[in-house]
Structure 1
Amino acid sequence: MKKLVLALSFAFSVGFAQAQTVEVPKETWYHADVEKTGVYGVNTEKALDFLKDKKRKPQTIVVGVLDSGVEHFHEDLKANMWVNKKEIPGNGIDDDKNGFIDDVHGWSYLGTAKGINYNDDSVELTRIYKTLAEKYDSYDQKKNHDAIVKNPTEYAEYVKIKREYLETVGKTKYNQQVAQAKLNAIEPGLNKMVLEFGDTKLTKDIIANYQPIDNQVIESLWIFGELKEEQWVGKTMTQVANSYLGMARRQAKADGLTSHYNLNLVDRKDVDNPNDLKERHYGNGDSNGPESSHGTHVAGIIAAVRGNKIGNEGTAGGNHVKIMSVRTVPNGDERDKDVANSIYYAVDNGAKILNMSFGKKYSPNKDIVWDAFKYAADKGVLIVKAAGNSNEDIDTHIHYPTNFKADGTSVSNAVLTVGASTRTSDKLKAGFSNFGKKSVDVFGPGAEIYATYPGVDQYRFLNGTSMASPAVAGVAALVWSHYPKLSAADIRTILMETVNKNEQLKDISVTGGVVDAYKAVQRAEEIYKQRKLK
């Protein structure tokens, strides 16, 4: 499941070592050079200067974004979208005979061949509970007893799963009611303040000296104590109300959708048969889909167009990187079958790097995903994936998909797991980020990341290991495109060996540091010389 948080951000200054304090723009901090600014960015510009000095010319490289979809017509992405040149758009024919009709920019496993797409699905907890409940929660007590006697271990798992599911249902209902009550309480007063203040820019003095007589207005004033000053000072009341009420509405709606879809015990039957794990060709060519905010943001972090003076610029550092969109992740938990098939599709159609900004607690068909990981590794593809946002040690609390099997087998040489770091050097690990001395390889910028958002010309700040993973995937693309004779294992090793280490990350990741593109290309250059490659 994709999880992130909207963020308000601002320019900041941080000291590092004994360097002078340097101001870093809020939109570009994740590109920063830590030695120059004290901010642990990925050091994109210095890497590009080095490559230019070495006269390294990049080759085109395709990055598969396995996500919610990508708005391929976005102003800052359309020039860098992968295009299947053998496919004629919209003719309803599989022109290139790859088994997928009209897969121009990628493919969607979250829809039907008739073009009917979906965005909401259940979570694995719900699916597992439903399966076990059908076996152990029958009105036939003898049937229940016989099943329990024959499968005591599975029954114990059912008891555990049932409790977790019902606790989640109760918490969800509570959160929905709280969100709606909050909206009901503040909306009338805020709307009245919008009319009263008009276009006035708010200041601390204005709010401190404001003496309303309307009870509904007075009842709403408490929000200024909840908000950070930068969220309302210098803004109009209309802007404040739209932002605050909009967030409240989204929370109420999101919790409602969670209650209705994520915890819904009725299986979807309008797309494919989720139990037919051998099925490969289903879905459609709509790689954007009905709601592509998460995937569009991820794609922009990797490969937003460089040099067009709009939006953001990707960490891949140039317009030779092309994004292939594979719709895999709904609002809910991605299905193992869809994850596996998305990997096969991206690999078979030329992607060299896969970004996977999703994950979940349970994975009933994890072996088919692991087999797909192995397939990608054998084909020389690098998988970069998010560590997850539960602030847990995933050495002990496994976050799926994982490159480790229960028997200890792994495909570690082809998988890079990324935790999220922040712009604040003395609190480097993002509070939400998962960690693990064995399971998290590196950290990358993942808090307050500015990038493309659906709406053709829209951009947002978002938080999550979902943002850290593409920041690192972009660096991998930058290095590999300029040093194409290296292997996926080489790229992974280079990125791990050249991190900027920090004591705060030492015991919570394999490398103990944040990825640095400049140091990575330096190391790649050294390897090329050692191996006498050109």
Structure 2
Amino acid sequence: MINKIKILALSGLLLAFNFNVNAQVAPIAPTIQAPNGWHLLDKGKDGFYGISLNKTYTELLKGKKSTPVTVAVIDSGVDTLHQDLSQVLWKNPKEKPGNGKDDDKNGYIDDVYGWNFLGGKDGRSVGKDTEEAERLFKNLGAQKTILPRDTALYSKLKTKYEAPLMANRAKLKDFQESFQGIKWADSLLHIGLKKDTIKGTDLENFSSQDPKIENARKGLLSLLQGNKMMDISIDQFRDEFGAYVTTLEESVAKLDLPLVNYRADIVRDNYADFSDRYYGNNDVMAKFAFHGTHVSGIIAAKRDNGIGIDGVADNVKIMMVRAVPDGDEHDKDIALAIRYAVDNGAKVISMSFGKGYSPEKQWVDDAIRYAEKKNVLLVHAAGNDSKNIDVEDNFPNPLYLSDGKKATNMITVGASGDLTNGGLTAGFSNYGKKIVDVFSPGVKIYSTIPGGNTYGNANGTSMAAPVVSGIAALILEHYPKLKPAQVIDILVKSCYKPEGTVKKPGTDEQITFSELCRSGGIVNAYEALKLAANYK
């Protein structure tokens, strides 16, 4: 999931630079910054609100034998050659690589590292895809008559999907002109300050007798303060603002462009027929593997090898099931990905994806029930829209469509941070005291990146969920007889519960953590393993 940069409303901010003079000044950044891998650290020992993982290994697990656990990652793909992942990848023991045969008779040819449900028999793979709301809205709108059963959905889509795009169209010109103004100011300030890198603090401590340069300084300073981005360079701000304008342009274009069915052209299954399930190919990297590689490293990057990073769990194998494009995933692919993972021995399934509509939710529900019967735990990211998913939809969710009951094998995860990187709650995280079970570190998480054995930081509940997947796998390594509901119970009961109040995501409102999730806290590996040892 890509976290959108929040830009203030800029109506009227044209080349004349009539900037928002009421913008709030950004708070002073803390002097101590969370280090790479802060999410593994311990508050008492290290001073960071991590999961106390290192303490877990040295004090609770040292010298103890464990049972290997297979963790399936339903995601965008994985770099199978990465130095920190190549040794921890699941390899199908019944499949002979490269012979073009379905050796294990599971319906998927040469599925050595997993399967790609976004692939075609010609070797191609889906990269970009549309949003589910766009698919639904345009397909319904193409009908001559909206059926009575679809009237409410179509009305909701006009409000939730079409109306925001119309609003974007109305403000696009102002944003485009403002971007031109920002570029103009950027070039002037580089001349005025005679520096390659200029930050907001530089603008605070500088003034110019040249009215053009002074106007540029005041305008950009106001924008940086208003968006609380004083710690980045004006070049970076310019680029991020430009990216936001591009996003606006692309969203507006959706109003007039016909729906493109990227998946159908490549996958070529009969989507409406769930029994048509043996499609795809075995390319689990597929050139789109950033997200899945980052997630996989969080869970299981080889520990204690002296390179890169350490994953959470030390005795797991990562099975990649590719079903998440750059866009919204399709329910059929997700349902089959879950079933594939279960049938091939996964005990934990990490799912860092989500969307606001699920037209074939029943297929996904049936797959979740299937996993439930097979004692497989599903770990799902809550999403990055700063919304309460008790009242606003985010799929897949654990509530069955048929009877409203909650799946006993699915845990939903919000994103926490540290006081040094924005606070204990991630401003982007979804929340909900009924649907969201726990929070977990998801801000500035350092992990593996595809290509060249590289590493980097990423933000999102997409990063928080695999932290929980890793702890769950670590529990099952040492206590393999536990059922998914029991593992969830342990994770919930062992949470660290912050005192006082925290920021409600997306706002400055102060609330207690108990209003954000069912557990009222942040996962902690040390307390979870300690509780698991005596769990009744």
Aligned-partner Cα distance in 1 for 2:297–2:243: 23
In structure 1, what residue type is equivalent to 2:341? A
35, 59, 79: which one aligns with 1:26: 35
Q: Secondary structure at the match of 1:78?
A: coil
Aligned counterpart, 1:170? 166
Q: Match for 1:442 among 432, 438, 444? A: 438
Deviation readout 1:158-201 (Å, 9 max, x if unpaired):
23323433213324546766665555444466568779999967
SS of the aligned residue for 1:431 comes to coil
Is residue 371 of structure 1 aligned with residue 379 of structure 2? Answer: no
Residues 1:305 and 1:513: Cα distance change in structure 2 (over 3 Å): same
**One-letter amino acid of the counterpart of residue 231, structure 1:** I
Aligned to 1:507: 515
1:61 and 1:400 map into 2 onto residues whose CA distance is: 26
What is the identity, as a one-letter code, of the residue corresponding to 2:60? L
Q: How far 1:454 sits from its partner (Å)?
A: 2.8
Whole-Å separation in 2 of the counterparts to 1:286 and 1:435: 35
Report matched runs for 1:199-214 at 5 Å. Answer: 204=201, 208-209=205-206
Question: What corresponds to 2:73 in structure 1?
Answer: 65
* Farther-moved stretch of structure 1 (412-421 vs 177-186): 177-186
1:319-334 counterparts in 2 under 5 A? 320-334=315-329
Q: What residue identity is the alignment partner of 2:462?
A: S
Q: Which residue of 1 aligns with 2:527?
A: 519
Report the Cα offset of residue 231 of structure 1.
2.6
Secondary structure of 1:500's counterpart equals: coil
Aligned AA (2:470): G
**1:60-104 residue CA offsets vs partner (Å, 9 max, x unmatched):** 212111111122222332222222244344443323322112322
Deviations 1:307-365 (A, max 9, x none): 2344332222x2x2222111111122111101101101111122111111111111111
Q: Give the secondary structure class of the aligned counterpart of 1:79.
A: coil
User: What amino acid is aligned across from residue 4 of structure 1 in structure 2?
Assistant: N
1:348 paired residue number? 343
Q: 1:239-292 CA deviation, whole Å, 9 max, x = no partner?
A: x63x44553454455555555679852434212333223221111111112322
Map of 1:489 onto structure 2 = 485
CA distance in 2, matches of 1:445, 1:305: 20
- Corresponding residue number in structure 1 for 2:95: 87
Worse overlay, 252-261 or 474-483: 252-261
Distance in structure 2 (CA, Å) of the matches to 1:74 and 1:244: 32
1:394 to 374, 389, 392: 389
CA distance in structure 2 between the partners assigned to 1:176 and 1:118 by the alignment:
30
Contact preservation (8 Å) 1:11, 1:24: no
Root mean square deviation, CA, Å: 3.4
> Which residue does the alignment assign to 1:247?
240
Which of 38-47 and 170-179 deviates more? 170-179
SS in 1 for 2:398: coil
How far off its partner does 1:479 sit?
A: 1.6
CA distance in 1, matches of 2:101, 2:444: 42
The secondary structure found in structure 2 opposite 1:496 is helix
Report the Cα offset of residue 11 of structure 1: 10
1:314 and 2:311 are equivalent in the alignment: yes
Contact conserved, 1:82 with 1:324, CA < 8 A, in 2? yes
Matched, 1:121 2:129: yes
Supply the distance in 1 between the matched residues of 2:177 and 2:450 (Cα, whole angstroms). Answer: 30
Structure 1 pair 177–464 and aligned structure 2 pair: CA distance change class (3 A): farther
Q: How far off its partner does 1:458 sit?
A: 3.0
1:211-290 → structure 2 map (5 Å cutoff): 219=216, 222-223=219-220, 226=224, 228-232=229-233, 241=235, 243-244=236-237, 246-248=239-241, 250-255=243-248, 258=251, 264-268=258-262, 269-270=264-265, 271=267, 272-290=269-287
Identify if the C-alpha distance between structure 1 residues 410 and 159 changes in structure 2 by more than 3 Å, giving closer, same or farther. Answer: closer
TM-score for the superposition, normalised by structure 2: 0.81
Is residue 423 of structure 1 aligned with residue 414 of structure 2?
no
| Partners of 1:312 and 1:71 in 2: CA distance | 15
SS of equivalent residue, structure 1 residue 513: coil
After TM superposition, the structure 1 = structure 2 runs for residues 103-122 of structure 1, keeping only pairs within 5 Å, are 103-122=111-130
Unaligned residue ranges in structure 2 (runs of 5+) = 7-27, 500-511
Which one-letter code corresponds to 1:104 in the other structure?
Answer: V
- Distance in structure 1 (CA, Å) of the matches to 2:194 and 2:347: 53
Partner residue in 2 for 1:480:
476
Indicate the SS of the match to 2:87: helix
- Identity of paired residues, percent? 38
Residue pair 2:77, 2:288 contacting (<8 A) in 1 also: yes
Q: Which residue of 2 aligns with 1:18?
A: none
Note closer, same or farther for the CA distance 1:491–1:134 as it changes in structure 2 (3 Å cut): same
Deviation at 1:374, TM superposition (A): 0.7
Structure 1 range deviating more: 450-459 or 322-331: 450-459
Residue 36 (structure 1) aligned with residue 45 (structure 2): yes
1:130-169 equivalences in 2 (<5 Å): 130-135=138-143, 138=144, 144=145, 151-152=147-148, 154-169=150-165
Q: Aligned partners of 1:402, 1:501: CA distance in 2, in Å?
A: 24
In the alignment, residue 351 of structure 1 is paired with which amino acid? A
Name the CA shift for 1:520/1:399 in 2 (closer, same or farther; >3 Å): same
Q: In structure 2, do the counterparts of structure 1 residues 451 and 367 end up closer, same or farther at CA, with 3 Å as the change threshold?
A: same
2:365, 2:401 within 8 Å by CA — same for their partners in 1?
Answer: no
**Pairwise CA distance, 1:47:** 0.8
CA–CA distance in structure 2, aligned partners of residues 407 and 476 of structure 1: 28
Q: Equivalents in 1 of 2:180, 2:456: separation in Å?
A: 27
Match of 1:235 in 2: none
In the alignment, is the contact (CA less than 8 A) between 1:11 and 1:25 conserved in 2? no
After TM superposition, the structure 1 = structure 2 runs for residues 374-385 of structure 1, keeping only pairs within 5 Å, are 374-385=369-380
- Summarize the Cα distance change of 1:177–1:116 in structure 2 as closer, same or farther, 3 Å threshold: farther
Q: What's the counterpart of residue 294 of structure 1?
A: 291
Match of 1:236 in 2: none
Distance in 1 of aligned mates of 2:190 and 2:281: 45
Q: Is the 8 A contact 1:189 1:217 kept in 2?
A: no
Inter-partner Cα distance in structure 2 for 1:475 and 1:337: 29
- State whether residues 445 and 471 of structure 1, in contact with CA within 8 Å, keep that contact through their aligned partners in structure 2: yes
Cα 1:327/1:199, change in 2 over 3 Å: farther
- Letter of the 2:364 counterpart: V
After superposition, the Cα gap between the structure-2 partners of 1:207 and 1:305, relative to the gap in structure 1 and judged at 3 Å, is: farther
TM-superposed CA distance for 1:109, in Å, is: 1.3
Higher mean Cα deviation, 165-174 or 201-210? 201-210
Letter in 2 for 1:117: S
Q: Which secondary structure does the structure 2 equivalent of 1:444 belong to?
A: strand
Between 1:291-300 and 1:171-180, the stretch displaced more is 171-180
What is the deviation of 1:401? 0.7
| More deviation, 455-464/382-391 | 455-464
| Equivalent residues, number | 493
Residues 165 and 251, structure 2, Cα contact 8 Å, conserved in 1: no
| CA distance in structure 2 between the partners assigned to 1:212 and 1:338 by the alignment | 62
Question: Which range moves more in the overlay, 169-178 or 460-469?
Answer: 169-178
Identify if the C-alpha distance between structure 1 residues 210 and 111 changes in structure 2 by more than 3 Å, giving closer, same or farther.
farther
